[in-house]
Amino acid sequence: MPELPEVEGVVRSLQPIVTGKTIQSVDVSETIITSKANGKEAIIKGVDVISFCNALPQMTIEKIERRSKYIYFHLAKDGVPYLLVSHLGMSGAWFYVKNLHEIEEEKFKRHSHVIFHLEDDDMLVYADIRRFGELRLLDKEADYPPLLLMAPEPFDQEALDHYLAMSTLPKYENKAIKEFIMDGHVVSGCGNIYATEALFRLRIHPARKVKRISKERKIQLFNEIVIVLLDSIENGGSTISDYRSINGEAGNMQNRLLMYGKKSCPICGRKTMQKTIGSRTSTYCGTCQR
């Protein structure tokens, strides 16, 4: 699943090319139309396809920003603000093209599910192979309450204090530290990849309970998460499987990862181990991480 750095890369790529553009019309694939007709909330969430397609024309994209792992498209129509929230799920990707033939990877071209036709015959295309992503049109952020429960951005001044306060709550103190830092209510945007990397860099076992880690080590871990996230942003994110930035561009951070997806430890050379923590497979070194 794309994490904070990957979503940030998408936002930075989208900002200069679609900000200020006006949506002329919207097309939705037959796959999504059929799924919605059968009662499945496929990609377009909280509204039927017809209402979604009818609402967006003549809305102008005024600003794009990232919030945790979400993309916020700030829209306006006749002076009234709206918010289109996008989550990439496991395999979502955005493309800015003149026609679908410009999408080079067939797997994305075949799964182009929502097409926003913009002025000058440009197309903003949302493709999603597994269809776990979402597009949610809101009047305001508060209309979808889960968005208000996200932790502060890890780069914000209050993020560390929030993280430390959450670590003392009874519901978290007996959890594995890996599960704790992947919780979006605790740290925004840190998923399996970067939690794995930060824990390995500090030699902390992913299953160690939160209450068994000192405040000093918790602070070190939070700071390491920030360092890893910033490093990944600068390197275009990690293309592990289906992640792509705009128009199929891959990231480079996967070449800098020390532990995620590795068969052996880069420090001691021993075979890495795996354990399911928080429903995710955690890779770690049983010798170096304690």
Q: Could you list the active site residues?
A: 2-3, 69, 280
User: Which of 67, 66, 230, 219 lies closest to 151, judged by CA?
Assistant: 67
Tokens representing 93 are: 């990707």
CA separation for the pair 1, 90 (Å, rounded): 4
CB 247 within 8 A of CB 97: yes
CA–CA dist 67, 174 (Å, integer): 28
CB 66 within 8 A of CB 8: yes
State the DSSP string of 229-250.
HHHHHHTT---SSS---GGG--
- Please give the DSSP secondary-structure letter assigned to residue 207: T
Phi, psi of 79 (to 5 degrees): 80, 0
